[in-house]
Structure 1
Amino acid sequence: MLRPSPAPAPALRSVLAALGSPTAVREPRTPALRAAQGPLRPELPLPVHVLGRPAAGAVGAAVAAGQRPPRTRLAGWRFLVRNGDRAIAAADTMLTPDGWSFSHFFEGPYVTATERALVQAESLAVPYQPRLLSVPELYMLTLWLHTDTEADGASTEPGPDDLLVPLAPAPPGIAANHSYRVADLLPVIGLRLAPPPLLGSAAGA
């Protein structure tokens, strides 16, 4: 079952304003939004966290040594935009010096994959707080199922029992729509983000 963290009220208001007044924002609507008939509703707000190269480079060693998983950075809140009974796009918000504001609309495979993963997670017996975890260097996005359902959505440390569900399309060798324990998937990500060995380093050892 899922227990989402409520999005900041200004973030929701900015998305509602962008949907209600398309000419008031710089970012154009996507083709699906322009073609939609009937009301558009922003739902299922998810905090979007980013796992960057500096934090992830030592992930494998940290997990193997029993240390804490790396912290992440809250990059924004994402709302799925529903038309009728399905999500046809998403709306991202970002934190500015003036507070949370609308960023842009987008559509594509991650919208469908996110909705699918959320439906699957809803059937789990253990309650989770849904989030998104992005790894930009791998062009990878995962549904992050956080076990602390009372946590602020902005909290940035994965828990040892958290799950990560890579969304399709996932990087080669990582199964999409499969639930991984944080301790199992983060070392794999860490290895992929680690810089390659210097040429000749083995010969000089």
Structure 2
Amino acid sequence: MPLHIPLAPAAAERSVRTALHSTTPVTPRPPRLGEGALQPVLPLPVHRLAPVTGPTEPPRARLTGWRFLLARDGLAVGAAETMLTADGWAFSHFCEGPFIASSERAVRLADALPGPYQPRLLSVPELYMLTLWLHSDPGADPAAGDPLPEDLLMPLAPAPPGIAADRAVTTAALLPLLTSRLAPLGLAS
């Protein structure tokens, strides 16, 4: 298995488990999650891509949280995200939608790739884009680091028009496309 799933901080997982068992309206479950037992599985650190300033500028990312797929009877039906606060890790929100199935599919595809990788999620909010980031150093601290040129990025479906989903490409290959997409928004030079 080339994927080395990182361990989530215990407090992050605890906050998700607490939210799953909460009956307060602060943590309402989306309708698709329904009632019943859900298990947090496949914890992945979520990093946000900093605004791309140009094709020669190395990409920067910062950790924004951890996402756990929520499984019922072995099938992912949603996700839960945590965020880092001044008091430590806290539950943020539940998620549903196409990125859930796409995340599962991308992990399966990535697991068949040669070489060891540490899976992470990389968010590009300006493009409403989420990618499975396959960090080439499987032993790296999952909370730190920026996408390296040799790292692989696999856009999750639905990907923005003109960007292929479920296809792993190097950061060096995808970054120029992202830069050109962000340029009209005044986010790249």
TM-score by length of 1: 0.86
Change (3 A) 1:86 1:196: closer
- Measured after TM superposition, the shift of residue 195 of structure 1 is 4.2
Q: Is the 8 A contact 1:52 1:136 kept in 2?
A: no
Of residues 81, 87, 96 in structure 2, which corresponds to 1:98? Answer: 87
For structure 2, list consecutive stretches of 5 or more residues without a partner in the other structure: none
For structure 1, list consecutive stretches of 5 or more residues without a partner in the other structure: 63-68, 198-205
Change (3 A) 1:170 1:103: same
* Secondary structure of residue in 2 paired with 1:92: strand
Of residues 143, 152, 164 in structure 1, which corresponds to 2:132? Answer: 143
Aligned to 1:41: 39
Aligned to 2:56: 61
Q: What does the per-residue CA deviation read over 1:62-95, in whole Å, with 9 as the maximum and x for residues that have no partner?
A: 3xxxxxx222011110000000121000000001
* Secondary structure of residue in 1 paired with 2:166: coil
- Divergent runs of 4+, >2 A: none
Q: 1:189 & 1:196 partners in 2: Cα distance?
A: 11
Aligned to 2:11: 10
Q: Which has the larger radius of gyration?
A: 1
Q: 2:67 & 2:128 partners in 1: Cα distance?
A: 17
Q: What does the per-residue CA deviation read over 1:128-163, in whole Å, with 9 as the maximum and x for residues that have no partner?
A: 100000111111110000010111111131122210
Matches within 5 A, 1:57-96: 57-58=53-54, 60-62=55-57, 69-96=58-85
Q: What does the per-residue CA deviation read over 1:78-121, in whole Å, with 9 as the maximum and x for residues that have no partner?
A: 00000012100000000111110000101000001001100111
Aligned to 2:167: 178
Of residues 149, 161, 165 in structure 2, which corresponds to 1:160? Answer: 149
Q: Does 1:31 align with 2:26?
A: no
AA matched with 2:172: A
* Secondary structure of residue in 1 paired with 2:110: helix
Change (3 A) 1:138 1:196: closer
Identity among equivalent pairs (%): 57
Query: Which segment drifts farther, 115-124 or 86-95?
Result: 115-124
